[in-house]
Every structure is written in C-alpha cells, then in structure tokens.
Chain A
Amino acid sequence: MKRLMLVIGLAVAACVTVVPSLAQAADLPKKFDVLLYVDTVNGSRPVGAKPRPIGCTQTNTFTRGEQQVFRIWGTVAGTGDILSTENVKYAYVTVPGSPNLKLNWGAHGAASNRVWFWTAAWILPADYALGDVTAKIVFKTEEGTFGTYDYAFTVVPALKTASVKAASLKKASPKLASRG
C-alpha cells in the first residue's frame, strides 16, 4: 500500500512539473506578423571595461561597463518587405532598469560590402545587476502590426577567455585580429 501511495505521489509530482511547461508551450505563437532576427555583439567602445581583443564579435555575455550592440533585421509577414524606415513607425529595445534604446536604421560593414540593418548600443551600468537578463525588442509598422522578440543575455563579473584568444586569432586570421 505504501509503495502504491509512493507511486501515485511521484506521478502527481511529475504532472505538477510537466503541466506548466505544456501549458506554456501551448500559449506560444504559431505565427507572427513581423519576423525578426536579433543578435548582440560587443561594441568597440566600452566605457568602464577593458576592450576585448576584437570588436563586433557575437556574444550574449557581457560585463559591466562594456558596450552591448543589438543588431536586428526583419520582415513584414504578408508582403515580405524588409523592415526599414519606409515601413516602420517606431522600433526600440527595452532593457530592464534602463531607458528604452531607440533602434537606428543604418549602414554597417566594410565599405566594399556595406549593408543596412537596425542597431542600438548601450553601456552596461557599473552597478547593473549580475545574472540573466531578458531584453525586449519592439517594432511597430506603419500598418499597425507589431513584432516583438525576447532576447536573453547574461551579465557576468568577468569574462571567460577560452573562446577568443588573441594569439590564436592572429594565427587564424591576421586581418581579424588587427581590427580590435
């Protein structure tokens, strides 16, 4: 009898654990009015932190004082038109505890291969809370449709250096390493 109760108890506990995830999954959107690509790179102009060996590398881990740059492009479902100042009413990034960051439509990349997308940069404050953060990206189109994206990143006290060693990069690609 005790064993039966234990099995029932475990089954109930498992249900309690599983049901919220399933309910959450059921709430997820199956379609979007605006489709977004979002990533972040380390800006080459940190204010309160040592610059990384290379600027504009993709990362979702930052230290206080670093410059975080959001890079975004997207398209309007239905027309397939790329999001630009021609069809976007406003666009911004909300980072908890900071004023909204206006997204700017502009040219980026080498002069020989310059392309346009949306960016917003900010410096992580010296007293910004450590840990996982979710930034929210919001686009409103001229047609009145919205695109949103929850972007997760982590604020750490110090960076691990395993992924990008300057010496290794110089050997791999001298041009890249010299851009820092």
Chain B
Amino acid sequence: MRRKIAVLVAGVAAVTAVSATALAVTPGEIPFPSPKIESVFVSTHTVTGPTSSLGAGVLTNYYPRGGTVVFRVFAAETKSGKVLTAEDVKYAYVKIPGQANVKLTYTAQVKKGDPTWLGTWTVPADYPTGLVQFVTRFRTTGKQYGNFVQIPVVTSQLTVTKS
C-alpha cells in the first residue's frame, strides 16, 4: 500500500512539473536568458569611457586594446522588484576571462534609466583580440544570486580589436 501511494505521489509530482514547464514555455521557444529569473535580475551595458574618440557614454561592443570599457549595470530582486543598492549587496563584479574581477560600485540614480552600478575595465595592450564572454555577478546579503550574460548574437557581443 505504501509503495502504491509513493508511486502515485511521484506520478502526480511528475505531471505537475511537466505542466508547470509547459505553462511557462511554449515548445520550441528558448527564451533569453532563461524561462525564469529566479532570484536577481541583472542587466549590463558596455559604454565608452571619457578618453574614447567617440566621446563618453556611447554604447558599443567594440573596444581597441588600451581602450576603456565602462560597465553600466542595473540589478533588482526578482521576487519584490526592488532595485538593489549597496546595502542589499554582498558583492557585485564583472568576470572577464583572464582578468581580475571588475568590482562594481553603487551609484545613486539621478534620473530614470541611469545605471545603479558602475565598473571600469581598461583593455590590456596584450589582451587577445576577439570575443570577450564576460559575466556580471551579484550576491545579495540575503544570499540570493544573479548573473548577466550577453545575448548570443556574436556581432553584438563584447569584442576586443587591435588598437
């Protein structure tokens, strides 16, 4: 009898799991970055620094060696929608292959749409040219985690060019 009940419970759980997935995602669709954002929503833009010939704050994903990449980041708790400030966050950084983590610093918004976190990376003169698969990572004081990864369209991903 116990075994029958266990099998029944397992069956119901399996059906529930499949149904839940079916409700969130239409077959054949692969939503970016995932069907669900579990804990922390993170977005990241890369813009030029003040020394760029394009001027400061220009959105681009192409940077020459020696150029400065400014990471403009926004993060919020998914469950409540609350914007994360310095008080909420244990650590926030951008992980770049072959480089020390770029620490993100909280800056209060002055106008709507401003980022809340900033970090700067100067591309080393000998950094390999090509795509840079960076990841932005957050951990809140409540032990919630969030990541940002780039949309997998290669021409729009961070790329280092020769200076």
Contact = CB atoms under 8 A, between A and B. Distances in A.
Interface of A: 21, 24-25, 28-37, 39-41, 54-61, 71, 73, 75, 77-82, 84-86, 107-110, 113-117, 149-152, 160, 162-165, 168-169, 171-173, 175-176, 179
The 8 closest A-B pairs by CB, nearest first: A77-B81, A172-B129, A115-B32, A60-B59, A162-B53, A37-B43, A75-B37, A31-B81
20 contacts: A21-B110, A25-B109, A25-B111, A30-B83, A34-B81, A40-B59, A56-B155, A57-B60, A57-B155, A73-B31, A84-B25, A84-B26, A85-B26, A86-B23, A113-B152, A114-B30, A162-B54, A163-B62, A168-B161, A176-B159
A160 B78 CA distance: 39
Given A85-B26, A109-B151, A173 B131 contact: yes
Contacts of A86: 23-26
Contact of B35 (A60, A81, A113): A81
Contacts, number: 179
B83 A29 contact: yes
Contact of B46 (A30, A58, A115): A58
A31 B76 contact: yes
Nearest to B33: A73
A55 B156 CA distance: 9
Interface centre among B38, B45, B80, B151 (most CB of A within 10 A): B151
B3 interface: no
Given A82-B34, A110-B154, A160-B54, A32 B159 contact: no
Given A109-B153, A172-B130, 13 more contacts: A25-B108, A29-B112, A37-B43, A40-B59, A54-B155, A58-B60, A77-B76, A82-B24, A109-B152, A163-B53, A163-B54, A168-B161, A173-B159
Contacts of A82: 24, 31-32, 34-37
A39 B59 contact: yes
Contact of B29 (A34, A61, A84): A84
Interface in B8-65: 23-26, 29-39, 41, 43, 45-46, 48, 52-54, 58-64
A175 B46 CA distance: 22
B141 to A, nearest CB: 17
Contact of A116 (B23, B31, B38, B162): B31
